[in-house]
């Protein structure tokens, strides 16, 4: 039962359903299992390395905007909008219903616009929320689960383009000094929104602008160039030249390969 206060001394029932207690608990367990997502940069299989999303975070990231205060920037959402969508999401948890498409779509667009967030951590959180809900949606519609880590056998066009965006973002950032890394925006992020809409056309721009930064990397550029070539070769010429809007899987690809590069840079294999 969901209760909503419409005023002092007034209480409305916003939704009501009856379930067997064991089914209710199984549905809750399935929700958190099917929406959990790996935290960027974390290692191991420990559950602490996975985000278990609460409803407030999902709604704030799907429909909220970043606001700046003296204490820093944070994502804020209209309270009525939040309340209305909490009522929509609760049955997805308690009754095992499919996640609403518009919520996933909104997260897709929010995560595809990093320039809307001055605090990079806020965009990272929105991206992770989007990945978790995209994973849940794929399970809902019968497309199967997605890996929590980079899948070298994945041939999906959108996924692979997301990997390319991650490489360009990391390579340029790697060429920055500490001050630049904290204050500059990479070209991958600057063109991210356009890239999601017209990947082939925008990738050519990002790749061209990446060249001077690759030169600054010296021998390290060989590794990034190797990754770019490996990902590109996995796409057919038709898929690579396809300039249509990317599917949500590109966000999964970006997150996966960013995490993969982080892991490699901290492993003995790449020393």
* Cα–Cα distance, 268 to 271 (Å, whole number): 5
Q: What is the pLDDT of residue 179?
A: 87
Q: What is the 3-state secondary structure (H, E, C) of the chain?
A: CEEEEEECCEEEEEECCCCCHHHHHHHHHHHHHHHCEECCCCCCCCHHHEECCCHHHHHHHHHCEEEEECCEEEEECCHHHHHHHHHHHHHHHHCCCCCCHHHHHHHHHHHCCHHHCCCHHHHHHHHHHHHHHHHHHHHHCCCCCCCCCCCCCCCCHHHHHHHHHHHHHHHHHHHCCHHHHHHCCCHHHHCHHHHHHCHHHHHHHHHHHHHHHHHHCHHHHHHHHHHHHHHHHCCCHHHHHCCCCCCCHHHHHHHHHHHHHHHHHCCHHHC
| pTM score over 0.85 | yes
* Cα–Cα distance, 135 to 124 (Å, whole number): 17
Q: What is the pLDDT of residue 269?
A: 45
Q: What is the pLDDT of residue 8?
A: 59
Q: What is the pLDDT of residue 271?
A: 42
- Which is nearest to 105 in space by CA: 54, 63, 163? 63
Q: What is the pLDDT of residue 49?
A: 74
pLDDT in tens, the chain (271 residues): 454 555 555 555 555 566 677 888 999 999 999 999 988 765 544 445 778 888 999 999 999 999 998 889 999 999 999 999 999 999 999 999 999 999 999 999 999 999 999 999 999 999 999 999 999 999 999 999 999 899 999 999 999 999 999 999 999 999 999 888 888 999 999 999 999 999 999 999 999 999 999 999 999 999 999 999 999 999 999 999 999 999 999 999 999 999 999 887 655 444 4
């Amino acid at each position: 039962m969901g209760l909503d206060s419409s005023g002092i001394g007034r209480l409305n029932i916003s939704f009501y359903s009856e379930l067997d207690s064991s089914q209710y608990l199984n549905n809750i367990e399935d929700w958190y299992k099917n929406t959990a997502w790996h935290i960027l940069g974390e290692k191991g299989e420990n559950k602490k390395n996975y985000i278990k999303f609460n409803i407030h975070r999902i709604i704030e990231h799907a429909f909220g905007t970043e606001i700046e205060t003296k204490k820093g920037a944070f994502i804020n959402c209209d309270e009525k909008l939040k309340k209305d969508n909490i009522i929509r999401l609760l049955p997805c948890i308690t009754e095992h219903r499919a996640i609403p498409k518009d919520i996933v779509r909104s997260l897709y667009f929010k995560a595809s616009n990093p320039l809307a967030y001055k605090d990079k951590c806020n965009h990272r959180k929105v991206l992770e929320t989007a990945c978790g809900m995209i994973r849940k949606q794929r399970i809902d519609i019968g497309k199967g689960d997605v890996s929590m880590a980079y899948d070298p056998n994945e041939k999906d066009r959108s996924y692979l383009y997301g990997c390319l965006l991650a490489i360009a973002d990391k390579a340029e950032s790697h060429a920055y000094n500490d001050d630049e890394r904290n204050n500059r925006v990479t070209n991958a992020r600057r063109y991210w929104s356009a890239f999601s809409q017209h990947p082939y056309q925008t990738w050519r721009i990002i790749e061209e602008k990446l060249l001077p930064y690759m030169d600054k990397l010296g021998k390290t550029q060989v590794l990034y160039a190797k990754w770019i070539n490996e990902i590109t070769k996995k796409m057919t010429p038709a898929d690579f030249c396809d300039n249509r809007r990317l599917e949500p899987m590109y966000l999964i690809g970006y997150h996966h390969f960013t995490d993969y590069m982080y892991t490699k840079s901290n492993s003995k294999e790449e020393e």
